[in-house]
Amino acid sequence: MVGPVPKYHDVTTVAISFLSERESISQYLPEPLEVGAEPLVQVYCTMNRQVDWLAGRALETETRTVWVMC
């Protein structure tokens, strides 16, 4: 049996995408990964307020994405 689904009552997400310098990204990638066709970087920041499973407190997350090829 599954319990009640927790709710996130107040969620705000900000996202930004930008092209970077290929060399700036490459230095952080382990082999065999390499920068994809475009040196695209995406950053997402999310603020979750009034989270049921956190007794109404907040949870902040940040995600950074770089498109790579293997």
Supply the DSSP symbol for 57: -
Stated pTM of the model: 0.70
Q: What are the sequence ranges of the domains in the chain?
A: 8-69
Q: Which residues pair with 17 in a beta bridge?
A: 42
pLDDT at residue number 10: 94
> Is the CB of residue 60 less than 8 Å from the CB of residue 46?
yes
Whether residue 34 is predicted with pLDDT greater than 80 in this model: the reply is: yes
The pLDDT assigned to 70 comes to 67
